[in-house]
Amino acid sequence: MMSISSSIPLSNRHQLMIASVLAILMFATRDYHFSTTYNLPGASWAVFFIAGIYLRTAWPLLGFLALSWWLDFAAYAWGGASAFCLTPAYGFLLPAYASLWLAGRWYAGQYQFAWQTLIPLAFSMIAGLSLCELFSSGGFYFFSDRFADTSWAEFIVRSMTYFPLYIKSFVIYTGIATAAHILFVLLTCQPGTRKQPVG
């Protein structure tokens, strides 16, 4: 069963537009593509979270997973990127990205166009980010064989150094998406219906 109901129903056309924008954003901000040229922070984490909120089925999750793998492979095979991160731990990116998507999916079920929505939104963001960091960075640190004498204490120190950078880029892109969502609702909803899901 690949279909999961959403409390933010959008037309197929709007979903296709969102999916296209997210795919372009992932391509343009992957660490070793255009982001290094234009100093754009990586958007991959935000892409999976936002896709979970707006895209109605699980197929886009598989599509974005495939896109992220292809971008990494292309960078290594043809772009001269380092193979440092291509280890058996690379598979931990699957549950890492899926955690963000599921967090967004959960929030979609709590959504309402009201200030109260900030509470479940914040909860879903914190949960998704924490699980993604645990799977991605934790998986790499403990299972990549790139580090000798691993320990939870060292992992926590490393996370305190690098995790805030991921949080910063995540907040930037989800903040832009939130502003676009509010503007879209205000422009499309009739007076007195602004607490209703986007139609």
pLDDT of 112: 84
pLDDT of 90: 86
pLDDT of 145: 80
The phi-psi region of residue 55 (left if phi > 0; otherwise alpha if psi is between -120 and 50; otherwise beta) is beta
User: At 160, which amino acid appears?
Assistant: M
pLDDT bucket at 102, cuts 50 / 70 / 90: very high
156-199 confidence digits (pLDDT tens): 998 999 899 999 999 999 999 999 998 988 887 654 444 444 43
Query: What is the domain partition of the chain in residue ranges?
Result: 12-188
Q: Count CB neighbours of 29 within 10 A.
A: 21
Angle at 66 between CA 65 and CA 67, to 5 degrees: 90
pLDDT of 82: 61
Average pLDDT over residues 24-50: 75
- Its pTM stands at 0.84
Q: What distance in Å separates the CA atoms of residue 150 and residue 144, rounded to the nearest whole number?
A: 11
Q: Indicate the angle between helix axes 44-54 and 118-133, nearest 10 degrees.
A: 130
Q: What distance in Å separates the CA atoms of residue 75 and residue 91, rounded to the nearest whole number?
A: 17
41-71 confidence digits (pLDDT tens): 789 999 999 999 999 888 899 999 999 888 8
**Percent of the chain whose pLDDT exceeds 90:** 46
31: its two tokens: 């660490």
Q: Which has the higher per-residue pLDDT, 35 or 138?
A: 138
Instruction: Classify the C-alpha dihedral 173-126-27-41 as positive or negative.
Output: positive
